[in-house]
A and B are shown apart, each in its own frame.
Chain A
Amino acid sequence: MAKEKKGVRLEHISKIYQDPKTGKDFYAVKDTDLVIEPGSFVTLLGPSGCGKTTTLRMIAGFESPDEGEIYLGDEAINALTPDKRDTAMVFQSYALLPHYNVFDNVAYGLKLRKVPKDEIKERVTKILKLVELEGMEGRMTNQLSGGQQQRVALARALVIEPSVLLFDEPLSNLDAKLRVTMRTEIRRIQQEVGITAVYVTHDQSEAMALSDNIIVMSNGQVEQMGTPQEIYYHPKNEFVADFIGEANFLPGEYLNEPGRTIVLRPEAATLADEGGIKCKVILSCFMGSYQNYHVMVDDHLVKLQEYNPKNKKIYNVGDECCLVFEKENIHLL
């Protein structure tokens, strides 16, 4: 699309809500700074209640920040209502207009922008082709499957060519397989169109598969921001390490500096008869692509995944053996 790409910037953004039970104020989002580069795909990832959806809704304009300023490109947009913001959102519940058919749903935003009829038809047709819904124009939305409804929602957001596309857990109502297909689709379409996208999810594999950058949030604050690799290999703290993938935490000492924690990913270590740290197997389970182990090192539980188990020695419950890993494959906190 010919339009200039725009990024999003959040400066010291806070949102305060009142707890309906206690009547006390609390920060849903606290003093958050974010920079989302033009044309990039950024995911806000975190457990429920971490403030990721609130952040997204502030970018869309549904919520007003209590502190700070939001910029779209270079324009401060705090005071703009959602209809005046150049953003388009894909909702968790799809939020298709039930009284319109597919065509009218997608054409809705264009009609509001007083785009000529011929052009509407052309653009809607083009976008429906992009999301692979050609020939479905006349269907009512309740005649569509969940995946198809989500495609309509995506088409509707894309067709108005917004500067930023916002996704609010769009795949959480779909089944697992479709979720995988759709996330590939979303990534393909985003890259094809080259649009800036902000995506909210609590599913870390979704975040990994989709994003240029992941922003991990908890308790209204950003824990870490970085590429999927950075986040996975170099988590800043236990929360991030634990939330992204699986992690074992072992107390350690680094260059005579006690009190450090070692982060060991389950696939980063193997078991051997000798040569590492002594351990005892307490669970051994064949999972197909890997053998799943739980071993005890002193009184610490360590979870391991040994890939390609066919060619390796299998340890059974009760076996005493050694935990072996390379120095490069661990991360220190």
Chain B
Amino acid sequence: MANSQGKALDRKKLLGDPIMVMTIVVLITFLTLFILYPLAILLVDSFVGDGSFGISVFQRIFKIATFKKAIGNTLKIGMVVGFLSTMIGLLFAYVEVYVKMGKFAGGLFKTISLLPVVSPPFVLSLSMIMLFGKAGIITRFLLKIYDNSVYGYWGIVIVQTLTFFPVCYMMLKGLLKNIDPSLEEAARDMGASRMKVFMSVTLPLLLPGLGNAFLVTFIESIADFANPMIIGGSYDTLATTIYLQITGAYDKAGAAAMAVVLLCITMAMFAVQKYYLEAKTSATLTGKASRARMLIEDKSVRLPLTILCSMVAMFVILMYICVPIGACFPTWGFKFFPLTGKWFKLIFTRYKGFKAFKDSFILSLIAAPITALLSMIISYLVVKRKFRGKGFIELVSMLAMAVPGTVLGVGYIRGYAGGIFHTGFLQGLYGTGTILVIVFIVRSLPTGTRSGISALRQIDKSIEESAYDMGANSFKVFTTVTLPLIKDSFLSGFVTSFVRSITAISAVILLVTPKFLLITVQINEFAEKGSYGLACAFATLLIIVTFGSVLLMNFITARLGTSKKIKED
């Protein structure tokens, strides 16, 4: 049977839409150049790195004991952190969506759980060391424990969990809100207890979402570079090992091969998870407006859940307060009073603080809107449109999800330092701000796309079709229907991408040149040297910047978010 006419017509319809065609071409070029190519070059490097084609590089790196250990460490941490973060995220999401909370408690709760999102990951490492380290305020001065070590496995697990659970929380919140309340009411009505409803209705509907959350966290954890760097001590993970291999041992081929190993692990996890997720279809929603949910007011449910969440929240708050306070200690771990502003003064007078902030801020601000828009466009194309090359776009942008920053960094060094395929073409890119912006975009794109895709999957196909049918072209459909419907996803993509960029370190630490000073790189440097006062001062200012931008954007969102009333003029 020949269905060539239908395909030809589909193609003709597509070609009649120049904006679509342009968009697709640009996307494919971008994804190929900045995701596929750097990874391809890593493979090439690791197979021909030692002169001849073969697996000699791999044989060499697998003889390094620390590397083998790092693999085990990384997997263990990824699993534990992924699990813990998903559970805590679920708890927070559930309480917010299902449980009636006081206005004040709710607001506080939300702000607190958003805190880790707006801060650089190593902030928590710094406060962990400050609170529970050898000279920790709690361990040494309150509990009189003189030999407590936070460095290592538990340090990383705690810090990463507290850092990543809000991501799960935000993801799961979105899903929970989309579950039709009448499903649960029906189960409740048939005699299921609240717990039974949760276990037999809510949880199964949420399962793909939970897998998703776990996946995101697992890969984030594996890719995390800053925390293991600061709090890992001698507990090496793959990301830090690769970094040291390239900056310490100057073994670029070895680093490339290690990067390939790390990449294989994340890819494998990704594949398993994706296969599992695909098999289970997620909770689907129709375009019909569903009713609001009856919130749980029952004290026996409300109190324990609220208290549990508050305790986690308090702990997180404590961790955050530590950083600005720590920035004011005259000498870290020994002399706490009187508080001083000398570190803040020093970073601006002696350590080019202003330039660091300017560079980080501007580069991130360029990257954020591009990322948010790109990820929404990709999601739209992937979920709602049929065209050739769609599979490619979906695969590659999802692939980027499984690429740790360190791997990408190594790939960019190998791929762009001598131009594309060492031909000198596009060599000008290396060492510029542009390549940093591109890294920021590529690093945030998968999360943005993921949230966009799951938001779009929840929207009934016929809503967009109806707009299309009413006479809107693809561009109009996207701008007047799709984008407004996933506005929340878009704005959160924007904010997340800005924050991720300004707080990014794993890839950029390998790519940044002296021309640009990035705050995160500065913090890492000072923390490495043990200058915690300076590190905290930088981190404090960074938190202020990111938190300020989030507040500002939320304010704007609230303004834009009000539903339009008909103008009676």
Contact = CB atoms under 8 A, between A and B. Distances in A.
Nearest to B483: A99
B9 A64 contact: yes
A322 interface: no
Given A65-B6, A140-B563, A156-B470, A92 B462 contact: yes
A93 B465 CA distance: 11
Contact of B465 (A27, A82, A109): A82
B460 interface: yes
B484 A66 contact: no
Contact of B460 (A61, A95, A101, A156): A95
A63 B17 contact: no
Contacts of A79: 9, 12-13, 16
A109 B470 CA distance: 5
Given A83-B469, A101-B563, A108-B470, A15 B484 contact: no
How many residues of B sit at the interface, in one of the four size bands?
35 or more
A27 B1 contact: yes
Given A64-B6, A82-B469, A101-B565, A141 B289 contact: yes
A197 B212 CA distance: 45
B558 interface: no
Nearest to B9: A64
Nearest to B487: A99
Contacts of A91: 462, 465-466
Contacts of A66: 1-6
Given A64-B9, A97-B481, A104-B566, A112 B286 contact: no
Nearest to A60: B469
Contacts of B471: 83-84, 109, 112-113, 160
B463 to A, nearest CB: 5
B461 to A, nearest CB: 9
B563 A97 contact: no
B563 to A, nearest CB: 7
A91 B460 CA distance: 11
Given A95-B287, A99-B484, A99-B485, A82 B468 contact: yes
Contacts of B7: 64
Residue in A62, A108, A141 whose Cβ sees the most chain B Cβ within 10 Å: A108
Interface string B279-301: 00000001111110000000000
B148 interface: no
Contacts of B3: 16, 25, 66
A96 B469 CA distance: 12
A142 B289 CA distance: 5
Residue in A67, A80, A82 whose Cβ sees the most chain B Cβ within 10 Å: A82
A63 B10 CA distance: 8
A35 B290 CA distance: 40
Nearest to A67: B5
Given A95-B287, A96-B287, A64 B462 contact: no
Contacts of A156: 466, 470
Contact of A65 (B1, B5, B16, B288): B5
Contact of A160 (B470, B476, B565): B470
Interface in A140-159: 140-143, 149, 153, 156
Given A81-B17, A95-B460, A99-B563, A89 B288 contact: no
Nearest to B565: A138
Given A63-B6, A95-B460, A112 B12 contact: no
A87 interface: yes
Contacts of B6: 15-16, 63-66
B481 to A, nearest CB: 6
A167 interface: no
Given A16-B3, A96-B287, A108 B467 contact: yes
Interface string A24-50: 010100000000000000000000000
A208 to B, nearest CB: 26
Contacts of B467: 97, 108
A290 B207 CA distance: 52
Given A25-B1, A65-B9, A99-B484, A93 B566 contact: no
A25 to B, nearest CB: 5
Residue in A65, A91, A173 whose Cβ sees the most chain B Cβ within 10 Å: A91
B472 interface: yes
B472 A112 contact: yes
B473 interface: yes
A107 to B, nearest CB: 8
Contacts of A97: 463, 466-467, 481, 485
Contacts of A307: none
Pairs A-B, 7 closest by C-beta atoms: A142-B289, A64-B9, A109-B470, A66-B6, A95-B466, A95-B462, A16-B3
19 contacts: A64-B7, A65-B5, A67-B2, A78-B9, A79-B12, A81-B17, A81-B468, A82-B468, A83-B472, A88-B469, A91-B465, A98-B463, A101-B563, A101-B565, A108-B480, A112-B470, A138-B566, A153-B466, A156-B470
